[in-house]
Structure 1
Amino acid sequence: MARLSHGLLGALNLMTLLLSLPVVCAGVYFRMRAATECERALQLPVIAFGCALLLMFLLVVAVFALTVFTFVVTNRGAGGAVSGRGYQEYRLGDYSGWLQARIAEPETWRRVESCLSEARVCGGRPSDGAVGQDATEFYKRHLSPIQSGCCKPPTRCGFRYVNATFWAAPGSGLSAAAAGDADCRAWSNDMQVLCFECDACKAGVLETVKTKWKAVATVNIALLVLLVVVYTLGCCALRSNGGSRYFKDDGDADKI
């Protein structure tokens, strides 16, 4: 069904393009060949209509390409459930290579990290409600992807909860697996650091971006449907206008 709809949309776009070009060319041709200014002026609506169809074709192609691209780069990645936790955790490697490459750019991540710090997504103030909670209450919280990835160490690291922004390393030290995990080593109780350098933080940002991009893609689909309807009405109007002129000319010929 998806292939059929894409094929129909492609065929409609191609038909509109092929239809708009002759309309524009014919309007320009007759305007140049017109003997009077009045005749030239009468060709302007034809040229404008053809240009509008051509621009709409380009708009549909652009929106369609953007929508397909959005679904392609956001079709991977999802949170993983953690036993006994109300939140999920995210891994950078689960997301598309294109998104990983973009978020890994030093300048891009520097800006993102600055925004996270300024927005105080990890809280730390009494009014945030996290300070003063015990571990059981905290583990039941439904954290956002960014809070889960950036504001606490990954569960696999084995850190012990003290408060929302302070986690103690195990008394016996990190396990061999945790010691070899870059995210476990990157965690800091410094409010300006936390897990902002963790891949889990980047994954949380990508999960948020993915959700918002999919919402935009949904809007794009609605826009495509609207443009297709407008296309169809425009093509029908053009065909109807062409048929009316044909029969009118035929009737004039009979009179002669």
Structure 2
Amino acid sequence: MGMGTSTFIIRWVNFLTMLLAIVVVVFGVWMSTHHDGCRRSLTLPVIGIGAVIFLISIIGFLGAMKNSSILLWIYLILLCFILVGILVFTVLAFIVTNNGSGHSVVGLRYKEYQLHDYSPWFLKQLNNTQNWKHLKSCLVKSNDCNDLPKKYKTLKQYKLAKLTPVEAGCCRPPSECGYPAVNASYYDMSFHPVSLNKDCKLYKNARDTKCYNCDSCKAGVAQYMKTEWRLVAIFNVALFVVLSMIYFVGCCARRNAARVRSKN
């Protein structure tokens, strides 16, 4: 690749990523002032990612603009660390999300989930008392369960609904309990549960209780996390390919910068 082409590409790619980094940091600051404690906990990672992107981008931009082989070396080393990190995280994400799937139930359009189906890593995180206490408080605040009567105004609509994993696991008792549904937010608890599943005794109709203490709720969260992690892993594969191409162009730019320095 020609000297002018490689440095031009690196210069403008890093200029654009600097702008992107500024947007990410601003978004992180906005999250810290406009969201509750659950989403606010994500602000520091978001701001940190933006700051790292900006630092690497400005090193690459200045290295390409000044034809500095030293700055481009630093840029390539940092980019290499990022590529390795993305590769490791992506492999681990596919391994962790390999287990776990829903179970079809006769008469339901959605699946139910069981905690023991998921990977040991998920089990460890979700069974940690402090982790689950925080997640449970966020689930209660999200109003996913409390909004079900607004979405499904009749019992027929509710029975034909295609609930999300969190709604299926946290907002209702497992179907094996045999509690008849009165509406989207209330079950007749006068019936003796036909199953020995401990979730049947943990479920309550109270808005802040529901099945938030149930293993079925943890399984629903695990399924949600699995889906999200899979999407992130697929995105990382595409990101890895793009960054590898940028890394190759960066190597050309560094080599060309070194030639210019040697001629001078």
* TM score, norm. by length of structure 2: 0.68
Determine the C-alpha separation between the residues in 1 that align with 2:260 and 2:77: 23
User: Which secondary structure does the structure 1 equivalent of 2:162 belong to?
Assistant: coil
Following TM superposition, by how much is the alpha carbon of 1:235 offset from its aligned partner in structure 2, in angstroms? 3.0
Equivalence map 1:27-176=2 (5 Å): 45-123=68-146, 128-131=150-153, 133-134=154-155, 136-169=156-189, 171=191, 173-175=192-194
Paired amino acid for 2:184: A
Larger relative contact order (Cα-Cα within 8 Å, sequence gap ≥ 6): 2
Unaligned runs of 5+ in 1: 1-42, 249-256
User: Which secondary structure does the structure 2 equivalent of 1:75 belong to?
Assistant: coil
Q: Percent identity?
A: 35
Asked which structure has the greater CA Rg, the reply is: 1
Following TM superposition, by how much is the alpha carbon of 1:130 offset from its aligned partner in structure 2, in angstroms? 2.6
User: Which secondary structure does the structure 2 equivalent of 1:162 belong to?
Assistant: strand
Deviations 1:201-241 (A, max 9, x none): 00111111111111111221111101111122233445567
Pairwise CA RMSD: 2.5
Determine the C-alpha separation between the residues in 2 that align with 1:143 and 1:212: 17
Aligned mate of 2:206, from 169, 186, 190: 190
User: Which secondary structure does the structure 2 equivalent of 1:123 belong to?
Assistant: coil
Which residue is 1:38 aligned to?
Answer: none
Paired amino acid for 1:217: A
Paired amino acid for 1:216: V
Determine the C-alpha separation between the residues in 2 that align with 1:237 and 1:108: 46
Determine the C-alpha separation between the residues in 2 that align with 1:149 and 1:141: 14
Determine the C-alpha separation between the residues in 2 that align with 1:137 and 1:188: 22
Determine the C-alpha separation between the residues in 1 that align with 2:106 and 2:152: 20
Q: Say if 1:226 and 1:129 are closer, same or farther in 2 by CA, change over 3 A.
A: closer
Deviations 1:63-106 (A, max 9, x none): 11111111111111111111111111100111111011101111
Equivalence map 1:213-228=2 (5 Å): 213-228=229-244
Following TM superposition, by how much is the alpha carbon of 1:51 offset from its aligned partner in structure 2, in angstroms? 1.3
8 Å contact kept, 2:181–2:188: yes
Which residue is 1:209 aligned to?
Answer: 225
8 Å contact kept, 2:68–2:254: no
Q: How many residues align?
A: 199
Deviations 1:127-178 (A, max 9, x none): x1334x12x432210101100001111111111111112212474x233xx1
User: Which secondary structure does the structure 1 equivalent of 2:101 belong to?
Assistant: coil
8 Å contact kept, 2:112–2:174: yes
Determine the C-alpha separation between the residues in 2 that align with 1:198 and 1:63: 34
User: Which secondary structure does the structure 2 equivalent of 1:232 belong to?
Assistant: helix
* TM score, norm. by length of structure 1: 0.70
Paired amino acid for 1:86: R
User: Which secondary structure does the structure 1 equivalent of 2:163 belong to?
Assistant: coil
Determine the C-alpha separation between the residues in 1 that align with 2:110 and 2:159: 8
